[in-house]
Structure 1
Amino acid sequence: MTYPMSDLSQHKFTAEDFKEGQVLLFDKPLEWTSFQLVNKVRWLIRSHCNIKKIKVGHAGTLDPLATGLLIICTGKFTKRIEEFMGQEKRYTGTFSLGATTPSYDLETAVDKTYPIDQITDTQIEKATEDFTGDIDQYPPVFSALKKDGKRLYEYARNQEEVEIPSRRVNISYFKITKVAMPEVEFEVACSKGTYIRSLAHDFGKALQSGAHLSSLRRTKIGTFEVENAFDIEAFIQTLPPKKDLS
């Protein structure tokens, strides 16, 4: 069962609830990894419900510099993770034009700058058309994808060259919501496997300039919305009093 924030004041979880399976909606904080949030939730469940072991997993990684909706499944519902990962996702965020970074976001420092005075609002709006529908996209080299048993970011950090194959993704909706140069705010709906960092990088190239992702928030996964997600403190209020596992 899924419990959104609006229902939390009406519900108290039990150990059996988590074992049978729950779909929990969380608003991931900035600078937390998805795994850190999962580990925190697992620890809270174990310590408050006196459970030695409990399956807990998330349905779709968010980068540390992104915030927003993260689906966390427990118990028997961890079998549904692949189902949730396959659903369309919606994001809002900001591209910063005129500069690129090796990671395509703010994880690494700017490595190149480009002129932006020649870019018009009309060109920005039109560029979205190049990235709507089925497109081929190259994942960022600073990503957790594996090649030959090694994660891409390991190659990048060791300054090793690596050939990254493109992948076909679908962007069903891409809209520019605000232009305040050098920043461009956007909203996008896309398929599993889409990298918004790569979209930012490619968007800059389409404008014959450069760009990187400077903010990102996931607002929706399938029918699940971040407005119905809750934070750690709210989740704690749904749990029994903490117990000592020692």
Structure 2
Amino acid sequence: MSAQKLLERTFNFAEGELLLINKPYKWTSFDVVGKIRNSLKPLKLKVGHAGTLDPLATGLLILCTGKLTKQIDTFQAEDKEYTGTMILGATTPSFDMETVVDQEYPLTNLTEEAIYAAAAPFTGDIQQYPPAHSAVKVNGERLYVKARRGEEQELRLRFVSVPVFEITRIALPEVDFRIVCSKGTYIRSLVSDFGKHLENGAYLSKLTRTRSGNFFLEDAFEVTDLVEYLKNKREAAAAEQADTNIQ
């Protein structure tokens, strides 16, 4: 969404606002929350997000402020849509580009027909393990913290739904895809399992959340635009208050 659209909006952050944000690459979801919360000072408001995005992912992040934070679980429960790119012929411990390649496989045995067909077993109701490098908590500590210490953990299977898993482009080693999935689905795990199904390897190189429920990335604000807008609003309010005091 353009910066101009911000000027056409009237916000009531205390009563509650739902903000659609395009999360930047390498920002954590909590980075975005912190940035917006700081921009709302001196108001002491609750700000939370409805559905974590990995730091290396981009796209739609829903933020709620004020009284609307009570509805975060409702927004978080909605299905999600993603587009992304996987790299075939290699694996990484984190199933994405956070860690370096640890094993490589030849691509000579892969055909486009086999790649397209490999999406079918991962469509519908499926089971998957979360990545060892994930934000899932075990005994109060996130798995990625344990993984970075080299500790092995017993991962629990989770049931998720993937109504749509569509291969949209093949240019080996890159394969593009579009996925619609339920809350709690790990795209990294899906990609890793996809590679195993091909008796090969795969890891996630790019991921963008394009939709969450009835909310779309195309309607999202850029973080910098929203922060600048809030800064200007604060300065305008301070100037108005100063004029009032002088009078």
- After superposition, where does 1:64-213 map in structure 2 within 5 Å? 64-213=55-204
Can you list the C-alpha shifts for 1:52-101, whole angstroms capped at 9, x where unaligned? x1100000000110000000000000011100110000000001000000
Corresponding residue to 1:220 among 207, 211, 220: 211
Listed as ranges, the matches of 1:19-30 within 5 Å are: 19-30=14-25
Pairs aligned (count): 235
For 1:111-136, what per-residue CA distance to the aligned partner results, in whole angstroms no more than 9, with x for missing partners?
01111111100001100001000000
What SS is found at the alignment partner of 2:118? helix
Please give the secondary structure, in 1, of the residue aligned with 2:169. strand
Please tell me the residue identity of whatever aligns with 1:83. T
The runs of 4+ residues in structure 1 deviating greater than 6 Å are 3-6
Cα contact 1:5–1:229 (8 A) shared by 2 = no
**Do 1:142 and 1:153's aligned partners in 2 also have CA atoms closer than 8 Å?**
yes
CA contact (8 A) 2:21 2:60 kept: yes
For 1:8, give the aligned amino acid: L
Contact 2:16 2:67 in 1 (8 A): yes
Distance apart, 1:150 and its partner CA = 2.2
Partner of 1:31: 26
Where 2:119 maps in the other structure, the secondary structure is helix
Paired residue type of 1:180:
A
**Is the CA contact 2:23–2:223 (under 8 Å) kept in the aligned structure 1?**
no
Following superposition, the deviation at residue 12 of structure 1 comes to: 4.0
| Kept in 2: contact 1:174–1:186 (CA 8 A) | yes
SS at match of 1:64: coil
Q: Distance in 2 between matches of 1:63 and 1:30?
A: 9
Percent identical across equivalent pairs? 52
Cα distance in structure 1, aligned partners of 2:87 and 2:190 = 12
Secondary structure of the residue aligned to 1:62 is coil
What is the CA RMSD across the aligned residues, in angstroms?
A: 1.7
- Residue 148 of structure 1 aligns with an amino acid whose one-letter code is N
The one-letter code matched in structure 1 to 2:138 is K
- C-alpha displacement at 1:149, in angstroms? 2.2
Q: Indicate conservation of the 8 Å contact 1:97/1:204, yes or no.
A: yes
Deviation of 1:33 (Å): 0.5
Letter in 1 for 2:7: S
Counterpart Cα distance in 1 of 2:118 and 2:199: 11
User: Which residue type is aligned with residue 27 of structure 1?
Assistant: N
Q: Distance in 2 between matches of 1:55 and 1:187?
A: 33
Classify the secondary structure of the residue corresponding to 2:18. Answer: strand
In structure 2, the residue matched to 1:43 is 38
1:157, distance to aligned residue in structure 2 (A): 1.2
- What residue in structure 1 maps to residue 245 of structure 2? none
* Aligned counterparts of 1:161 and 1:35: Cα–Cα separation in 2: 26
**Secondary structure of 1:161's partner?**
coil
Q: Is the Cα contact below 8 Å between 1:11 and 1:238 reproduced in 2? A: no
Residue type at the aligned position of 1:11: R
- What displacement does 1:8 show? 2.0
Cα displacement (A) at 1:154: 2.1
